Amino acid sequence: MRQVLHRGRVGEFGLETVTLPNGLEVTLEILRHPGAAAVLPLHDDGTVTLIHQYRHAGGGMIYEIPAGKLDPGESPEVCAGRELEEEAGLHAGKLLPLIALKTTPAFTDEVIHIYLATHLEAVEAAPEADEVIQVLRIPLSEALAWIRSGRITDGKTVVALLMAPQAAAEAGATVA
C-alpha cells in the first residue's frame, strides 16, 4: 500500500507499507523518481569537462558531471545528450553507456544512467533558469586526484571518473 504525501518536480514522496523477506510488515518513506542520466565528456586530448554547480541540498557549489532527470518518454541516452548540451555546451558524437547506478536505494528507486561522451563539439549552452553552473576542463588525472582529496564528492561523478580510464581504453580514446 502507498500513501502519497507530496508530488513535486523531482518525484513523488510517500509512505509504503511492505512485507520484508523475513515476514515483518513495516512502513517505509520512499521517493519514487522517474530516473536520470549523466554524462562524462572526454575530449580527444584526454581532458574531461566538469561543471561546478550550485546544489542547495548539497551545501553549495559542487563539482559534478552534467546530469538531469528523464523527461516523460525520454530515453536515458537522449537525456544524457540533452544535458551535455544544456549544461556544458558540448555535443557528443558518441555516447558510450558506463553503468545504470542505483543512487540511494535506502529511500528512492532512482536509477541514473551514466555515459562517457567522446567526439565532442562545442555548442551553445542553455542551462535552465534555476541552474547556476561554471564549466571547467581539466586532465582526467587531476579529476581523479580531486576525488582522493575530497574536492569531488558527488557519487555519480566519482563513479564516472573512476570508470573512465578503462572505458576510454576500450573505446580507443586517450586519457590524460
Task: Tell the residue number behind the cell numbers 521517493, with chain if given.
Answer: 31
C-beta neighbour count of 10 within 10 angstroms: 15
Using a 10 angstrom Cβ sphere, with 0-12 exposed, 13-18 middle and 19 or more buried, the burial of residue 161 is buried
Residue 78's contacts (CB-CB under 8 Å, 6 or more residues apart) are none
Active site residue 131: yes
Catalytic option among 12, 16, 77, 131 = 131
Take residue 173 and report the three cell numbers written for it. Answer: 580514446
Residue 102's contacts (CB-CB under 8 Å, 6 or more residues apart) are 109, 110, 111
Active site residues: 131
